[in-house]
Structure formats: structure tokens, C-alpha cells
Amino acid sequence: MTAAQILTLTIDGKHVSGLAHETLLQVALENDIAIPTLCCLEGLSNQGSCRLCMVEIAGTTKPQPACVTLIQEGMVVITQSENLRTYRRTIIELLFSERNHICAVCVANEHCELQTLARDLGVDHISFPGRYPALPVDASHDRFVLDHNRCILCTRCVRVCAEIEGAHTWDIQGRGIRSLITADFNSPWGQSTTCTSCGKCVQVCPTGALFEKGRSVAEMLKKRPSLPYLVSNRTREQQ
């Protein structure tokens, strides 16, 4: 590693440094600067879809997603401002209004990243009319359930299944507001011929959209930290 690959920048007034291939989010986390995220998860590729990690960069007119923006020499970045807070609150409100996220009757109540972010950002009501479409619940799998009503389409399940398990069971069908997670080109999950029943998709899901059978309200605790552990062990084995 040469010194030329080390870049210095400023985040929230703090002088920090990172490697040229690192994202703003990675460098911020390495320096204990918290940026809210939903679609991003350590161990998976970044796709920059939730837009919660938007930050302000001096010299640019629009906020940029920290999880997919590489650091540059001399960057000046703001991660917390009134504008960004308003922006993030609006995203959370839109997610809550899009489907049915009634926390009180959700298996992931108190263990849900969407709920935690809403609390952190002070979202105690939604300003938009709720759409609440009646979406299906797929309970055809022996051990797991997919409740589309709780899904925020972060695609963590799609990525973990493809990138870590290598099964490629999950994908997205439809477009825009009609998008749905789908197994094996729209088969009931229990009839999937590719699913290995590893349960990784369930563990990385940030909400109660994917959960284990037999869990009741607030009982579905996810084990997300196991993913980076799994990835680093695999990388070590391949070396």
C-alpha cells in the first residue's frame, strides 16, 4: 500500500483519512461518525437505494449517498444538518406510508431498523396518506415467512442470497410501487428449487418482512453481526 493511496478529507469538521477505494460511509464509521443507513449492510455490496445516508459535500449542489461515494482528497463533508434531517425524516415517512408498518403487531417490534431510525429521527407520525395495500403473506416455506406488507425493498435478502449463499433465489419483480421480492421467478417460497433454507435472508432483513415461523409479536431478533464474521472467515480461507 503506497502513501499516495491515502487521502485526507474533512467530515463534520474532523480531519480524517482513508484509502482511495473507501466510501464516505466506511471512513465515517472508522472515525465514529454515525450516518443513518437502511439498505447498506457490512459484508454485502452497496446499492445505494434507500438514500438515508445522503450527506452534503462542499462544491456539489445535491446531497450524495455516502455508501456509494468514494472519498476524494480534500473533500469537505457534512453528515448532520437541518436539511439532511428533514430529508431523512421524509424518506422514513414515505416508507411508513407505502406499506403496512404497524409496529405494535409486528414480529420485529423493538428489533426493527426502520422503527429505530424513525425513533432516532423523531418521526412520530406520517404526513402522507397511508397506501396500505393488501399484499400477500407467503408462509409456504417450512421454517420461514415472507410478509410483503413489511418489506421496504432494501434488497439485502437478494444480495445476501446471491453474494454470500450463492443460491440466487430472491429477486425483485415488477416496477416502482408494484415491486415485490420474489423467489425463483415468482414461485411460492416453499416450492423454490434453489433455496437452501440457510435463513441468511431472514437474518439480514431490517424489518419484520422475513421472519422465522413460530415467532410472535416482538420475538424476531435478527443476528446481523454474523455476516461480516462469515465474510471475513471466508476471505481468510480463500487466501
**Contact residues: ligand FES, CB under 6 A:** 37-40, 48-53, 65, 67
**What contacts 184, CB < 8 A, 6 or more positions away?**
169, 191, 192, 193, 194, 195
Q: For ligand FES, which is the closer residue by CB, 9 or 40?
A: 40
Q: How big, in percent rounded to 5, are the helix, strand and coil portions of the chain?
A: 35, 15, 50
Task: Report the nearest approach of ligand FES to the CB of residue 218 (Å).
Answer: 25
d(CA 142, CA 207) in angstroms, rounded, equals: 20
Task: Report the nearest approach of ligand FES to the CB of residue 168 (Å).
Answer: 22
Cα torsion through 70, 76, 77, 82, rounded to 10:
-150
Q: For ligand FES, which is the closer residue by CB, 33 or 40?
A: 40
Going through 46-134 in order, the beta strands assigned E by DSSP cover 54-57, 64-65, 76-78
d(CA 93, CA 123) in angstroms, rounded, equals: 7
Q: Give yes or no for a contact between 120 and 168, defined as CB atoms under 8 angstroms apart.
A: no
Task: Report the nearest approach of ligand FES to the CB of residue 106 (Å).
Answer: 21
In this structure, what are the phi and psi dihedrals at residue 96, rounded to the nearest 5 degrees?
Answer: -65, -30
d(CA 182, CA 22) in angstroms, rounded, equals: 32
Instruction: Tell me which DSSP letter residue 23 carries.
Output: B
Q: For ligand FES, which is the closer residue by CB, 50 or 126?
A: 50
Task: Report the nearest approach of ligand FES to the CB of residue 23 (Å).
Answer: 9
Q: For ligand FES, which is the closer residue by CB, 10 or 64?
A: 64
Q: For ligand FES, which is the closer residue by CB, 32 or 237?
A: 32
Task: Report the nearest approach of ligand FES to the CB of residue 193 (Å).
Answer: 31
Q: For ligand FES, which is the closer residue by CB, 77 or 195?
A: 77
Q: For ligand FES, which is the closer residue by CB, 39 or 108?
A: 39
Task: Report the nearest approach of ligand FES to the CB of residue 4 (Å).
Answer: 28
3-state secondary structure of 195: coil
Task: Report the nearest approach of ligand FES to the CB of residue 26 (Å).
Answer: 11
- Dihedral sign (CA 177, 209, 124, 113): negative
